[in-house]
Amino acid sequence: MTYKLSQILKELNIDFHGNDIDIDGIHTLSEATSSQLSFFTDSKYISELSSTHAAAVFIDEKYAKLLPASTIALVTDEAYLKLALASKFFAHKITTKGTPPNVGEGCDIDKLVHFGDNVTLGNNVTVMSGCYIGDNVKIASHTLLFPNVTLYHDTKLGERCIIHAGTVIGCDGYGFAHTKQGEHVKIYQNGNVLIEDDVEIGANCTVDRAVFGTTYIRKGSKLDNLIQIGHNCDIGEHTLLAAQVGLAGSTIMDRNVVMGGQSASAGHLHIGAFSVIAGKGGVTKSLEGGKTYAGFPAIEHRTWLKMQAKIAGLLKRKK
């Protein structure tokens, strides 16, 4: 989908003077191409303004001069809201119609499976009753979907994956901009989900699609039941997540992270390789790899144990 910049800005009530270029999407400052829009709302990304390749950027007037000469400044004091409104232009068109998939050899597909358009299945894929496979989905060979799995449009599954019953992959992330009057405006989630080879996901999990770009679950990772993965997360190779783990958007994990039951992370954090988060641990800041953490906020496990012993001692003395 391509739109003239003037067409988009007319809907957004932004004045426009300059070349009326074609726009085919939205991305971050660092990833946007010369045919995409971007936005600037957080000063921690100020260093990316001068190097962005975006065609145009929603930006406050005081920062507009920091953009390259090749990038059009779309001056507004509501950059995030304008991003949300613009995202609707590039949303996937939802339809109930579908066409037969391109199916490899040896597949076993229940008759009560619904396919969208342009679905591709590798060899020896098994899809059980009640599954929905959306537009442009690709499923590699030897992958198994148990009943009532839902794969939203543009989802990619690797080889030898197992997805258990009731899991939803590629649903919208929880993203809204807010008006000055306190109304909530949907940011259309126009990215996708990529699940690499040898991943197993338990029953009734949800993996949100990216706002733009991709939500990743890297090869060899194993997810228990009832897990929530937020948009734009990147789950490193061979990670283990126990039941009821919840990851807020843009959590980045290196390989072989282990998270115990009901542990969680705030968004936009980095968890280093071979970290262990004990059950009910709450990650509120980025964590160094190779260590074990516990508590809320999560701290090193030994420190947490000493703190608990101190508290217990204080309570005993009060008695």
Q: Do 48 and 84 meet the contact criterion of CB atoms below 8 Å apart?
A: no
Shared domain for 193 and 80, answered yes or no, is no
Of 45, 70, 90, which residue is a domain's last?
A: 90
Domain assignment present for 66:
yes
Shared domain for 29 and 116, answered yes or no, is no
184 annotated active-site? no
Shared domain for 55 and 118, answered yes or no, is no
Shared domain for 148 and 198, answered yes or no, is yes
Tell the residue number behind the tokens 């262990």, with chain if given: 276
Averaged pLDDT, 229-239: 98
- Looking up residue 28, the CATH number of its domain turns out to be 3.40.1390.10
Catalytic residue among 231, 268, 270, 301: 231
Euclidean distance between CA atoms 277 and 176, whole angstroms: 29
Q: Do 74 and 58 meet the contact criterion of CB atoms below 8 Å apart?
A: yes
Shared domain for 121 and 268, answered yes or no, is yes
Domain count, the chain: 2
Beta strands in 236-303 (DSSP E): 240-241, 246-247, 252-253, 258-259, 264-265, 270-271, 276-277, 282-283, 292-294, 299-300
pTM across the whole model: 0.94
Domain assignment present for 209:
yes
Q: What is the pLDDT of residues 111-164, one digit of tens each?
A: 999 999 999 999 999 999 999 999 999 999 999 999 999 999 999 999 999 999
- The per-type count for the chain, helices as H runs and strands as E runs, is 3, 37
Nearest residue to 196 (alpha-carbon basis) of 214, 213, 180:
214
Shared domain for 77 and 136, answered yes or no, is no
pLDDT band at 319 (very low <50, low <70, confident <90, very high): low
Peptide bond into 297 cis (omega under 30): yes
Q: What is the pLDDT of residues 49-98, one digit of tens each?
A: 999 999 999 999 999 999 999 999 999 999 999 999 999 999 999 999 99
Q: What is the pLDDT of residues 244-265, one digit of tens each?
A: 999 999 999 999 999 999 999 9
